[in-house]
Structure 1
Amino acid sequence: MRPGDTVAVVSPSGPPNAARLRNGVRALEALGLKVVLGENVMARQTLDYLAGSDAARAADLQSAWCDPAVSAVFCSRGGYGSARLLDLLDFDAMRAAGPKTLIGYSDVTALHHVWGTELGLPTLHGPMPAYEPFCDEPRTWEHLRAALFDDPLPVPGSLVLSPGRAEGVVAGGNLSLLASLCGTRYQPSFAGKIVFLEEIGEEPYRVDRMLTQLLQTGALDDVAGIALGSWEECGDPLPVLRDRLVPLGVPILAGLPVGHGTPHLSVWLGALGVIDTESCSLSGRLRDGEGAL
């Protein structure tokens, strides 16, 4: 992206807080970006955890993606609801729109996954305009700016669960969203990939249950490596993570400040990545040049 580009903000999941969204839009404009809002970005409906009807949210997302003036699409926030849109999107039309960037995390994991499988495009697992931190936490903001303007910064870890070096396309996101896709037509398969996982508000036994679901469906068969982000309000998940993931026999790096915690660094999904437990980092390249995720 470059200053002067147009970005759209849509709400494929829950309704955003108006004041936070305004602050996020101002921050994007301060980067020299033009910001347009989806028609239904602030909509409400009977189910108050959804930002408008499924049809309206899907139409906003597809309209923004297919607009030739738009270079990137930010999801305003997560919550719940993006998976309800997957069968309503015209992926043929979205493929014809050409490459651009989708940005978000948490519930947006469903979109990240399908953008990779249906559109074959890298997406940015990063902070959203109506969430804190966005522009208020310096390291989060610096990392997002770097990722958007093609100078991605390294993502350091803090703990090695299983040593080694692994290369592969980075995929994944929020654990509960990935588990919810199991048994659907969008069921994940991460063979040959570096799997990134994070979560919020789940007790260790629930983390165990969701990891077991991924293992039993074969989603984690033949993975190249695993990168673990933040586990906010999840008690102490490390014993469970060790128990369920170390037997896979692949390099595992934990403690990446990516996900619901602060700071929230940005990671390109669908990009080539490298886990190096000696340097305790996740790095990679987005295009032809070498760089860090």
Structure 2
Amino acid sequence: MILWPRFQQGDPIAVTAPSSGVPEELHHLLTDTKNRQEQRGFPVTIYPTAWKQKKSVSAPAEERAAEFNRIMKDESPKAIIPPWGGERLLEMLPLLDYSAPIPKWILGYSDTSALLFAWTIKTGIATAHGTNIVDIRGAEMDPVTAAWEKVLAWEGGKTITQSSSELYQPEWKFDEVSDVVFHLTEPTEWKTVSGKPERVEGRLLGGCIDVITHLVGTPYGKVREFQRNKLHDEPILWYFENCDMNPNEMKRCLKQMEYAGWFENSAGFLFGRSAAVSEADGYTAVDVYQDLAQDTGLPVIYDIDCGHVPPQLTFVNGAWAAAACSNGKGTLTMQVPEEADDAEA
């Protein structure tokens, strides 16, 4: 069974920093996004860790974990959305209280995806891989980013379909102000290794491959156990995005996951666009995807809207989903059974 948090218009949002916080010179980003969300009808509480940053983290692991645990036991916030990712979230995972937490959404990506992955694996509570809260501080949101609200407010018995973007942002321009935060200029094109239209369905699980790979062989990476006990042994539809790795590094990570048995009962793979090094001695990311498809016999869709090259769809860990790609366009359809309306599927 997967537990599904409940979220609706007017529900409070908690901002905590389980990885990197916001340095003083960028505090205006937190203030701006708080004001913007409250204009949209969501009360926001920014917790102390979000305002701090030193030596690559917002605070010592014990402080970050204690704050997170307090929020999880508080009935008021219905969603936790960190400012952004970071580098050292992994060190707080053993300090979290995974026993009988109050179901609430956790939304984010990058380093935050290690928390999303571990939380869903350990608790059976669905988590959402998508926008950070500082990235929705603009006066407007593009349609792909804006879908986070619909996904988090999703009711049991319903399906929700998200479509690929028209344009994406190839690089970050922090010194240029935009009403939608992102500078979407390049045509989006979803692709398949087969070169043909593909449709693949299964239970979503994944995140930023840079950090997810470090969960292999730990109590936070017991994928097969999770799949048997929580997903009724349904196949997993993996989604990954690459922040910093070159193709050889990504290939090693995927092989480690394969050797650990993560891909034994899988439906296919989705890979987000990446600004990371795309070539290493002639070996490219596309070569990695082709090798993966050949090694596993499973379809691979890539350059999708996911990760550090925005905008990005909102993926729900644990959800049944169907991803389709044809003629450079794509869709992601997710569904929750009727009985999930009051927490479980």
Any idea what SS the aligned residue of 1:40 has?
A: helix
* Matching of residue 183 in structure 1 with residue 190 in structure 2: no
Partner Cα distance (2:199, 2:116) in 1? 25
Structure 2 equivalent of residue 154 of structure 1: 162
Q: Distance in 2 between matches of 1:287 and 1:52?
A: 39
Structure 1 residues 83-232: aligned runs within 5 Å: 83-94=90-101, 97=102, 99-130=103-134, 132=135, 135=138, 137-150=141-154, 152-156=160-164, 158-162=190-194, 164-189=198-223, 192-232=235-275
Q: 1:24 aligns with which of 33, 43, 48?
A: 33
With over 3 angstroms needed to count, the CA separation of the structure-2 counterparts of 1:37 and 1:275, relative to structure 1, is same
TM-score by length of 2: 0.75
Moved more, 137-146 or 257-266: 137-146
* Residue identity opposite 1:258 in structure 2: C
Query: Identity across aligned pairs (percent)?
Result: 24
Aligned amino acid, residue 31 of structure 2: R
Contact 1:133 1:264 in 2 (8 A): no
* TM-score of the superposed pair, with normalisation by structure 1: 0.88
Ranked by relative contact order (alpha carbons within 8 Å, sequence separation 6 or more), the top structure is: 2
Equivalent residue for 1:12, pick from 18, 22, 26: 18
Distance, in Å, in 2 between the alignment partners of 1:64 and 1:76 is: 15
Unpaired segments ≥5 residues, structure 1: none
Structure 1 residue 56, shift from structure 2 partner: 0.8
Q: C-alpha offsets along residues 91-116 of structure 1, whole Å, 9 cap, x if unaligned?
A: 1142xx2x211111111111111221
Map 1:69-88; keep pairs closer than 5 Å.
Answer: 69-88=76-95
CA offset at residue 123 of structure 1? 1.0
**Aligned residue number for residue 310 of structure 2:** 262
Task: Give the superposition deviation at 1:134.
Answer: 5.6
Paired residues of 2:118 and 2:221 also in contact (CA < 8 A): no
Distance in 1, matches of 2:45 and 2:84, equals: 16
Structure 2: unaligned runs, 5 residues or longer = 1-6, 165-188, 228-234, 279-283, 340-345
Q: CA RMSD in A?
A: 2.3
The 3 A distance-change label for structure 1 pair 134 and 260 is farther
Going from structure 1 to structure 2, the CA distance change for 1:139 and 1:276 (only over 3 Å counts) comes to: closer
CA distance in 2, matches of 1:2, 1:195: 28
Q: Could you tell me whether the CA contact under 8 Å between 2:21 and 2:49 is conserved in 1?
A: no
SS at match of 1:254: strand
Q: Is the 8 A contact 1:246 1:252 kept in 2?
A: no
SS of residue in 2 equivalent to 1:207:
helix
Matched pairs, number? 283
Deviation at 1:287, TM superposition (A): 4.7
Structure number with bigger Rg? 2
Distance 2:199 2:305 in 1: 20
